[in-house]
Chains A and B, each alone.
Chain A
Amino acid sequence: MSMTSAQKSGFGATLWDWLTTVDHKKIGILYLAGGGFFFLLGGLEAVIIRIQLISPENNFISAGLYNEMITMHGTTMIFLAAMPILLGLMNFIMPLQIGARDVAFPFLNSLGFWLFLFGGLLLNLSWFTGAPDAGWTNYAPLSIQSPGHGIDFYVMGLQLSGAGTLMGGINFIVTIVLMRAPGMTYMRMPLFTWTTFVASILILFAFPALTVGLFLMMFDRMFGSAFFDAALGGNAVIWQHLFWIFGHPEVYILILPVFGVFSEVFPTFAKKRLFGYTAMVFATFLIAFLGFMVWAHHMFTVGLGPVANSIFAVATMAIAVPTGIKIFNWLFTLWGGSIKINSAMLWSLAFIPSFTIGGMTGVMLASAVADYQYHDTYFVIGHFHYVIVGGTVFGILAGLHYWWPKMFGRYLNEVLGQISFWTFFIGFHLTFFIQHFLGLMGMPRRYWVFLENQGLDTGNLISSIGAFFMSFGVIVFLINIIYTTIKGKKAPGDAWGSGRTLEWTISSPPVHYNFKQLPLVRGLDPLWIEKMEGNEKMTPAEPVDEIHMPNGSILPFIMTIGFTIASYGFIYQTGNKYWLIAVFAGMAIALICMLIRSLKDDHGHHISKEELERVGD
C-alpha cells in the first residue's frame, strides 16, 4: 500500500506526496525549507536596513518604508525563520532519538506546518499593500493608530502561525512522554530531546498569551472595542504585558533547543560523554521556569514602580546562573577530549564566547536603573543579536551540519562549510559588536536616519560592512546545499563514526517507519554503550512484526487554506462588509474539514512482516 505511492513518480505525484504527508521527517524538511525561505527574506530586509544606515542622513529608503522594514525583519526572523527551523530539526530528530516511529499526532503535525507557512505568507502579502510598521513588538497605541491594513496582516498572520506552533508544542510533549522506546527512561534521553521537551512546555504556556494579545488587538482594530483606547478607559500597557509574558519565554524557546544541539555536537566530536548530564537537565528546567518570571525587564522604563522593577531585575539576573552552569559543562565536556574540528564543531565552538557576551550584556540590561540609559538604544540591538545570532543561528547551523547526513544521506561540503563559517562569524562580530558602543553613545533604535558628526558614522559603516560579510556567508551556505545535493559524499548510518544516540543506529536517510524493530535502550548514549561492548547493532526490543503507520491526508492543507481565506476576509471587512463572505466561506471550509476528520474513520495502515523482511535493514 504505502510503497505504491512512493513508486509513482512524476511531479504531480511528488507534489501530492508532500502536500499530504504526515511523516515527521518530511514535515521536518518542510519546516526547514519554509523557515529557510523566510530566513532569506528576513536577511534581505536586514541588508536593506544596513544599507540605509551605512551613512548619516541616507536616503536609500523612505522613513515609512524603513519602519516597515524593521518590523518585518524582526517578525520574520523570530516567528517565521528561527522558530520554524528549530521545529524542523525537532520534528526530524527528536522521534529518532527516543526510538519512535512517528509523533503522537501526525495529522496535527502536518496542520501545524501548513498553518505556519500560510500565516507567514499572509503576513508577507502585506508588502503589496503596506506592511506593518509598529515594530515586531507592535506596541499600542502606535499599532492601534497605524493607518492601512499593515497591522491587521501582522495580527492575522501571527495568529495563524502561532496556532500552528502551539500544535507542534503539544504534539512533542505527548510524543516524548508516551512514545519512548523500551528502556528509554527520562534520564536516558539525549539533551536535544530534553530541550525539545522543555521548549515545547514553554510554547504551551507562552503562546496563549500572544493569542490573547492578538485577539485584543484584532478586536480593537477591526471591531471597535476599547482595550487599548484610553478615551474609553482602555490601557495600552496591557498589550505590553501580554506581549512580553509571551515574548520573554519566546527567547528561551529560541535558545533552549540549540543548547540541546550543542550538547549533542560536543560529545560526538570530543568523543566524551556530556559533562554533568543531570545538571544540564536541571539547568534547562530552571531556565524555563525563571523565563516566566522576568517579562517585565522589557518594561523597566514604563513606570511599574521601584518594587516591581527590583523584583524583575533580580529574577532576570538569576537566569545567568543556570546559563553559566551550561557554559561550564560544555567546556568541561571538551576538556581532555579527542577533539575533531569540522563545520558543525566550529559553529558550536564559536557559540560559546559569542553567546557569553550576549549573556553579559543581558545582565547589564537587567540592572533596572542602568536600563533607563540602555533601553531602546543600539545597545539592546547588540545584546539580542549576540544571543539570537550568536546562540540560535549558530546553533541552527551547527545542527544542520551535524544532522544533514542523517536527514539527506549526504555530508555537507567541509571547504564550503568553513568558508561560510568564517565569513559569517567575522561579519557577525563586525556588525553587532560596535552596536553596543553606538548604543552607549546614545544612538536610538528604530530611527530612520542618524545625524552627521555625532561620532556615529564610522561605527555604522563598520556595522554595515559586517552585514555584507554575513550575507556572503549565507550565500556560500546555499551553494553548499546545492553542491551537496548534487555531488555530496554519501553518508552511512553512523555518519560521524562517533555517534552516541539512537538516530545514528538507523540508515541515512531513515526509512519511513524509522525502526524496523524498536531498539532496547540500556543507558544514556545507547549506541555508545553497544559500541563499548563490541556490538555492531542495537539489541532489538521486539521481534520483526507488522508496523502500524498513520495515513497521509490532504485535509490539513485545505483546512489551512480555509483559515487563510477567512483571515484575509477579516482584514478587509473593516472597509467593505462584502469581505465577510470570505470570512464565512473560509471558516466553512475549515469547519467542514474538521468535521470530515472527526467523522471519517482513519485507522492508518500496516506494513506487513513480509515487506519488512524484503527490505532488510
Chain B
Amino acid sequence: MSHDHSIDPKNMPKDPSKATTEGKYKFMGLWIFLGGETVLFACLFGTYLALKDSAAGGPTTQELYGMGLVFLMTILLLTSSLTSVYAIYHMKNNDFKKMQLWMGITALLGIGFLACEIYEFAHYIHEFGFTFRSSAFGSAFYTLVGFHGGHVVFGLSWIIALMVRNSKRGLNLYNAPKYNTFALYWHFIDVVWVFIFTVVYLMGMVS
C-alpha cells in the first residue's frame, strides 16, 4: 500500500505536490536551480546594459521600442502566471479537470506571448534592419530577450507534455509535484519578464 501514489479522495493530503519526499526534493531543487538562473539573467542584463548604447550607427533604443506590443506581452504573461496559480489551487482541491483547464489557459497565454515576440523580432529585422549581427547592441538585445523567449518555449513544451501525458489518468502523488514545479518555473519566467519590461523597454524608451 505504501508504494501506491494515487490519492484517496476521502483522505486528501493538504498539498499533494509535497506529500511525498520526492515532491519535496523536486520543489526545493527547482528553487535552488532558479537561484542559478537568477545569476544567469543577471549576467545577461549586465551585458545588455553595457552594450545598449553601442548601436554602431544602427537604430537606437528610442527609435526601436514601442509601447503597445510590449505592454500586451506583459499583460499576457502576467495573466498566465495568475492562471497557473488557479491551476495549483484546483490541484490542492484535487480537482483535476479544473487544474488541466487552467493550465491549458496558461499555455495558451504563453503561446500568445511567444507569437507577439516573434512578430516583434521580425518587425525589427525587416523594418529597421536591426539584427543579431548588426551591432553589439543588437547582439545583446536578442540574446537577453531571446534567452527569456527560450525559457518560455521550454516551459510551454514542459506543461503541454505533462497535460497530454496525464490527461487520462488524473492527479496522483507522483505527478502532482511535476505540475507544481512547473508553476514555480513559470512564475520565475514571469518575474524575469517584468525586469526585461522595465530595464530594456521602459528605460530604453526614456533614456
Question: Which A residues form the contact surface with B (CB < 8 A)?
Answer: 104-105, 166, 169-171, 173-174, 177-178, 204-209, 211-213, 215-216, 219-220, 223-227, 229, 231-235, 238, 241-242, 245, 595, 598-599, 601, 603, 606
Contact of A232 among B5, B33, B54, B161 (CB under 8 A): B54
Q: Tell whether A225 pairs with B132 under 8 Å between CB atoms, given A177-B28, A233-B55, A606-B3.
A: yes
A234 & B54 in contact (Cβ 8 Å cutoff): yes
Q: How far is the CA of A603 from the CA of B37 in the complex (A)?
A: 29
B37-83 residues with Cβ-Cβ distance < 8 A to A are 37, 39-40, 43-44, 46-47, 50-51, 54-56
**Shortest Cβ distance from residue A390 to the other chain B in the assembled complex, whole angstroms:** 30
Write the B121-141 contact mask toward A (1 if CB under 8 angstroms, else 0). 000000000001111111110
Q: A212-B40, A216-B47, A219-B139 are in contact. Are A224 and B133 (CB under 8 A)?
A: yes
A-side binding surface: helix, strand, loop or mixed? helix
Contacting pair A208 B40 (CB below 8 A): yes
- Residues on the B chain within 8 Å of A595, using CB: 161
Q: Which interface residue of B29, B35, B55 has the most chain A CB atoms within 10 A? A: B29
Q: Give bound CA distance, A598 to B44, whole Å.
A: 29
Q: Is the CB–CB distance between B132 and A599 below 8 Å?
A: no
Residues of A within 8 A of B135 (CB): 226, 232-233
When C-beta atoms are compared, the residue in chain A nearest to B43 turns out to be: A212
User: Known contacts being A212-B44, A227-B47, is A234 close to B25, with CB within 8 Å?
Assistant: no
Nearest CB on B from A433, distance (A): 38
Is the pair A227, B29 in contact by a Cβ cutoff of 8 Å?
no
Check A208 against B36 for contact (C-beta < 8 Å): yes
Task: Using known A-B contacts A208-B37, A224-B133, determine if residue A233 contacts B143 with beta carbons closer than 8 Å.
Answer: no
**A548's closest neighbor in chain B, by CB?**
B3
Report the separation of the CA atoms of residues A603 and B23 in the bound assembly, to the nearest whole angstrom. 12
Pair B36/A170 contact, Cβ less than 8 Å: yes
Does A216 contact B28, Cβ atoms closer than 8 Å? no
Taking a contact as CB atoms closer than 8 A, the residue among B24, B46, B47, B50 that contacts A178 in the complex is B24
Q: Which residues of A contact B137 (CB under 8 A)?
A: 233
Residue in contact with B25 in the complex, picked from A105, A245, A606, CB distance below 8 Å:
A105
Identify the closest chain A residue to B175 (Cβ).
Answer: A601
Interface size on B, residues (CB 8 A): 39
Q: Does B97 interact with chain A (Cβ within 8 Å)?
A: no
Residue contact A599 to B54, C-beta cutoff 8 Å: no
Q: Can you name the residue of chain B whose Cβ is closest to the Cβ of A213?
A: B43
Q: How far is the CA of A390 from the CA of B8 in the complex (A)?
A: 59
- Chain B residues with CB below 8 A from A238, complex form: 47, 50-51
CB distance from B52 to the nearest CB of A (A): 10
CB distance from B29 to the nearest CB of A (A): 5
The answer for the CA separation of A219 and B162 in the assembled complex, in Å, is 32
Are A208 and B139 also in contact (CB < 8 A) when A233-B51, A238-B47, A603-B3 are? Answer: no
B143, A216: Cβ atoms under 8 Å?
Answer: yes
* A224 partner residues in chain B, CB cutoff 8 A: 132-133
Q: What would 25 A/B residue contacts be, using CB atoms closer than 8 Å? A: A104-B25, A104-B29, A170-B32, A170-B33, A170-B36, A174-B25, A174-B28, A204-B32, A204-B39, A206-B39, A207-B36, A208-B37, A208-B39, A212-B47, A219-B139, A219-B143, A224-B132, A224-B133, A225-B132, A232-B54, A233-B54, A234-B54, A234-B139, A235-B54, A599-B161
Among residues of B, the one whose C-beta sits closest to the C-beta of A230 is B136
What separation, in Å, do the CA atoms of A207 and B35 have in the docked complex? Answer: 11
Say yes or no: B43 contacts A598, CB within 8 Å: no
Give the docked Cα–Cα distance between A460 and B37 (Å).
45
Residues of chain B having any CB pair with chain A under 8 Å: 3, 5, 21, 24-25, 28-29, 32-33, 35-37, 39-40, 43-44, 46-47, 50-51, 54-56, 132-140, 143, 158, 161-162, 165, 174, 178
Chain A positions within 8 Å of B28 at CB level: 104, 174, 177-178
Q: A174-B29, A208-B36, A232-B56 are in contact. Are A242 and B43 (CB under 8 A)?
A: yes
> Which secondary structure dominates where chain B touches chain A?
helix
Taking A205-B35, A226-B139, A227-B47 as contacts, is the C-beta distance between A105 and B29 under 8 angstroms? Answer: yes
B residues near A178, Cβ cutoff 8 Å: 21, 24-25, 28
What is the chain A residue whose CB lies nearest that of B162? A598
Return chain B residues, CB-CB under 8 Å to A216. Answer: 47, 139, 143
Chain B contacts for A227, CB-based, 8 A: 47, 51, 136, 139-140
User: Which residues of A lie under 8 Å from residue B39 when comparing CB positions?
Assistant: 204-206, 208-209
If the complex has contacts A174-B28, A232-B135, are A215 and B143 also in contact, measured as CB distance less than 8 A?
yes
Please give the distance in Å from B15's CB to the nearest CB on chain A. Answer: 16
Q: Provide the residues of chain A in CB contact with B55, threshold 8 Å.
A: 233
B46 CB to closest chain A CB (Å) equals 8
Question: What separation, in Å, do the CA atoms of A242 and B143 have in the docked complex?
Answer: 15
Add 20 more A-B contacts to A208-B37, A603-B174 (CB < 8 A).
Answer: A104-B25, A104-B29, A174-B25, A177-B28, A205-B39, A208-B36, A212-B44, A216-B139, A223-B132, A224-B132, A225-B143, A226-B56, A227-B140, A232-B56, A232-B136, A233-B51, A233-B136, A234-B136, A235-B54, A598-B162
CA distance A207 to B40 in the complex (A): 9
Q: Which B residues lie within 8 Å of A233 (CB)? A: 51, 54-56, 135-137
Residues of A within 8 A of B47 (CB): 212, 216, 227, 238, 242
- Chain A residues closer than 8 Å to B143, beta-carbon distance: 215-216, 219, 225
Question: Which residues of chain B are within 8 angstroms of A170 by Cβ–Cβ distance?
Answer: 29, 32-33, 36
Q: Give A231 to B37 CA distance when docked, in angstroms.
A: 31
Contact partners of A213 in chain B: CB under 8 A: 43
A245 to B3, CA, bound (A): 46
On chain A, the residues within 8 Å of B132 by CB distance are: 219, 223-225
- B91 CB to closest chain A CB, in angstroms? 18
Give CA–CA (A231, B57) in the complex, Å: 11
B3 to A: closest C-beta gap in Å: 7
A226 touches B36 (CB 8 A): no
Q: Which of A178, A226, A241, A598 is packed against the most chain B CB atoms within 10 Å?
A: A226
CB distance from A45 to the nearest CB of B (A): 30
Rounded to whole Å, the gap between the CB of B60 and the closest CB of chain A is: 11
Complex-state Cα separation, A231 to B54, whole angstroms: 10
Chain A CB count within 10 A is highest, among B21, B37, B43, B134, for B43
Closest B residue to A227 by CB, please name it: B139
Q: Which residue of A lies closest to B55 (CB)?
A: A233
Please determine whether A205 and B40 come into contact, CB atoms closer than 8 angstroms.
no
Question: What is the bound-complex CA distance between A389 and B165, given in angstroms?
Answer: 51
Closest to A224 in B: B133
Question: Given contacts A208-B39, A233-B55, are A603 and B133 in contact (CB under 8 A)?
Answer: no
Closest to B174 in A: A601
Nearest Cβ distance between residue B146 and chain A, in whole angstroms? Answer: 10
| Shortest Cβ gap from A217 to chain B (Å) | 12
Asked, given contacts A166-B36, A212-B40, A601-B174, whether A235 binds B51 with beta carbons under 8 Å apart, the answer is: yes
